[in-house]
Amino acid sequence: MAFRTIAVFVDPAPACADPILYAVGLARQHEAHIIAICVVPTTWETKPSSMYARGDDAIHDVITVDTVGQLDAIEAARQAFSRNMGERGSQEFRVVREFEAARHIQLNLLHVDIVVTGPLYHERQTAIWPETELFAAGVPFVVVPDEWFETHGDGPPERVLVGWNASGEARRAITASLPLLKQVDEVWILVVDGPDNARRGEEPGADIALYLSRHGVKVTVMQCESAAVPVHSVILDTATAVAADLIVLGAYSHSRMVERIFGGVTHDLFKSAPFPLLVAR
């Protein structure tokens, strides 16, 4: 079992190097093909004056400027991908226009094993992607924080913390990450406030640890109480304590709308985690 096809979102920004290098590390480990996907925004919303163009010549000028801007963005993203990817392995570059992203991102992700992207809450990205489209595609994905490789290098993860709350989302995240978990040095199953949830059993985390060990994963169970500390903070503190370089979690056990309004573990981790997050739902 291995990842054979990996998609990565790219753009012209320098920070785009982090998800590309992360995808390269995974591809090298799994001998996988990499698909770079560039979502190209229009300039209409960023240039309000364009909305007031009148007459054929003025409208033609607006369209020309927008088209040139898109072509420049595509070429810059292509160069960023080529620069960071080099000649390493099987690769391709695809372009999706922002106005057709809702349909075409999902189509491009139908036949990949895992997706790599930069931060989900970022000024470089639009309001509709990538989070909405990633979840709609049903593909597990890794969110890589900016500047990750300045301090951690470009190798694949070696020490993984798995958040376990006995939910279907957490189970799917573990299944999706199995190709990776089987190759890392250490895996920790973290159960927060285990006794508070009967679904987690008499010994919270023991059953899922046994499941993973049968797959050859070297796993340790950790239980802790949140003691009124936000659960996402407990997860991040534990990841720091064990020197993890990846966190695996099932996303949005509660509805996304509830988490956006009232806060929640997934939403808070997406906004603040300094570690890569492997997420499934």
Give 100-142 pLDDT, tens digit per residue: 777 788 889 999 999 999 887 665 554 445 567 777 788 999 9
Is 152 within the bounds of a domain? no
Which of 143, 167, 188 is the last residue in one of the domains? 143
Residues 6+ apart with CB under 8 A from 169: 250, 251, 252, 253, 280, 281
Is 248 within the bounds of a domain? yes
Using left for φ > 0, alpha for ψ between -120 and 50, and beta otherwise, residue 45 falls in alpha
32 and 134 in a single domain? The answer is yes
14 and 136 in a single domain? The answer is yes
Predicted confidence at residue 66, as pLDDT, reads 53
Mean pLDDT of 227-247: 95
Q: What is the domain range of residue 213?
A: 157-280
Share of the chain above pLDDT 90, in %: 47
Mean pLDDT of 45-71: 51
Confidence tier at 86 by pLDDT (50, 70, 90): confident
Mean pLDDT of 57-84: 68
Confidence tier at 68 by pLDDT (50, 70, 90): low
Mean pLDDT of 251-261: 54
Is 10 within the bounds of a domain? yes
196 and 241 in a single domain? The answer is yes
Is 200 within the bounds of a domain? yes
38 and 111 in a single domain? The answer is yes
Mean pLDDT of 87-94: 86
238 and 274 in a single domain? The answer is yes
Q: How many domains does the chain have?
A: 2
The reported pTM is 0.84
172 and 266 in a single domain? The answer is yes
- Residue 30 sits in a domain whose CATH number is 3.40.50.620
Predicted confidence at residue 25, as pLDDT, reads 92
In tens, the pLDDT along 34-46 reads 999 998 776 544 4
213 and 259 in a single domain? The answer is yes
41 and 122 in a single domain? The answer is yes
224 and 247 in a single domain? The answer is yes
Is 148 within the bounds of a domain? no
Q: CB count, 10 Å around CB of 214? A: 8
